[in-house]
Amino acid sequence: MRSGIEAHDGHRGPRPAVVVGGGISGLLSAWELARSGHAVTLLEATATLGGCVAPVHAPLPDGTELVLDAGAESFAVRTPAVRELVEELGLSGAVVTPNPVGSWMYLPDPAGGGGEVAGRAVRSPRVGILGIPGDLDAPEVAEALGTEALARARQDLTQPVGRWEQALHDGGPVTVGAVVRDRMGDGVLQVLVAPVVAGVHSADPDTLDLRTVAPGLLEALVTEGSLARAVASRRAAAPPGALVASLRGGMNTLTAALVEALRAAGATVRTGVLATGLDRAADGWTVSTRTQDGTEATLSAGRVVVATDGPAAWDLLAPVAGGALAAADRPAEGAGVALVTLVADAAGLDAAPRGTGLLVSPQVPADVVGAKAMTHVTAKWDWVRTAPHRHVLRLSYGRVTDAPGASTPGYGTGDRELLARAVTDATTLTGVDLAGTVVHSFVVRWRSALPAATTAHRAAVRSVRDWLEGQAGLDAVGAWLAGTGLAAVVGDVRRRIGGDET
């Protein structure tokens, strides 16, 4: 924990603090600072608070309205960080767990003959981490892999772990792809792991840092002598029940509760205000700002927390870093993702034919299915069911690995094309004809929603944080530093900002 500077300054009262960014990391940082006695001003460049934990209002033809999540729709329960925050905000009674029916995967299925590739839907392994199976005897694992790939995966149970014991000792970079390929083979990597990594982290397993996305798994591999046994032991050590939870009304209710708590603590929340610069001052820092109408101003603060996405944070921090933050290490903007939500009146979906949704293998051609994932929202969360036969589906498009100008649908695809594609993809994935059933739809786009959890990114994060440790009163938080997911972001903010002393 970093206390930075004292929250009070003698007889002048609470020391001012500025938080740049009104996403969940910024809101929580501001609340922690306000509770520790700072006079907090939060600046958000857009008109909306919450970032990817904001609400979207979906008006329906019958005059009712659904309020859905713009981004994150659940939180991981492997750590207590989010659950503790939920309890502090008085939302414990709103915690809900997903329908236990389970999820599916959509895998390539060679059609034979002319080399064409279709797709097939199979159930996801019940015991797994990042798609890595923890039970190689499970029937769904055999169905997904086939005889040859399953036989190769079983070599993990007897193969020596010396290579990874040495890697653990050395502390060097270790990717998900390297570990899975070595222990279980390309079959498990491509069939089971790649769809999860692409759907959850929008990344390539061969660039994804194992320590970042699955803390403790490498250590468990060495201890258990098998990757499968390591996954099983980590899953057994997790809290019983579902791996994720949410809030009735959506995760956006967490944002609303934080904003209410922040204002009740006396903080000032300003939207439509862009932070344009950061400078050192004799008693702390100054933050230059510009409103949407062009009005410029400067705020002085003893404590500044930058809680924006990676590129925006870098642009504020680098000019005061004296060369410690090199331009070449600036986080990449990212290819972006687009989320398409369909509200459909379709009785064929009542039986949840694909459980709570599917992850799509990157090996499935885009002309077969262009989405990387689909969540059957009403099958996953009971509270979303508002009318008979009414269903909410959310499809995700775009991966970090997409090349600029790629023809696959994603962030840069127009709304009309995405919406039409989503209906076609959802029909393919569910096996239910959805033509003519959609009563409302919308698209949400995120440019910097997912940090690239690569080994190089991990090293860059370490260098940024090493520099920040020497900057009294200055810090940075957010997914680009903490990793993907609310649990990672909330836990990180609590460790760094929650330790401020009054």
Cα–Cα distance measured from residue 478 to residue 32, given in angstroms and rounded to the nearest whole number: 15
136 with 219, same domain: the answer is yes
Decide which of 224, 241, 258 is a domain's last residue: 241
Query: pLDDT tens for residues 245-268?
Result: 999 999 999 999 999 999 999 999
C-beta separation of 457 from 334 below 8 A? no
Q: What is the CATH number of the domain that holds 213?
A: 1.10.3110.10
Residues 373 and 408 grouped into a single domain = yes
Domain end among 221, 241, 261: 241
CATH code, domain carrying 419: 3.90.660.20
Q: Which of 198, 215, 241 is the last residue of a domain?
A: 241
Rounded to an integer, the average pLDDT of 90-106 is: 95
pLDDT in tens, 105-128: 999 987 655 567 789 999 998 889
Confidence of residue 218 (pLDDT cuts 50, 70, 90): very high
Burial category of 412 from C-beta neighbours within 10 Å (exposed 0-12, middle 13-18, buried 19 and up)? middle
Q: Does one domain contain both 151 and 295?
A: no
Domain extent, residue 282, equals: 10-51+249-332+451-496
Q: Tell me: do 328 and 463 sit in the same domain.
A: yes
Answer yes or no: is 190 within a domain: yes
Residue 83 lies in a domain: no
Residues 202 and 271 in one domain: no
> Does a structural domain hold residue 433?
yes
Q: Is residue 488 part of a domain?
A: yes
In this structure, is residue 31 part of a structural domain?
yes
Quote the number of domains for the chain: 3
Same domain, 237 and 284: no
Confirm whether 64 is domain-assigned: no
Tell whether the torsion through CA atoms of 262, 267, 272 and 278 is positive or negative.
Answer: negative
Residue of higher predicted confidence among 335 and 353: 353
pLDDT level of residue 399 (50, 70, 90 thresholds): confident
Residue 437 inside a domain? The answer is yes
Assess if residue 154 is contained within a domain: yes
Residues 476 and 459 in one domain: yes
Cα separation values, 185 from 154, 159, 177, Å:
9, 12, 10
Look at residue 167 and give its three-state secondary structure.
Answer: helix
Of the two residues 332 and 389, the one the predictor is more confident about is 389
- How confident is the model at residue 4, as a pLDDT? 43
Buried b (16+ CB within 10 A) or exposed e, 200-219: bbbbbbbbbbbbbbbeebbe
Specify whether 162 is located in the same domain as 24.
no
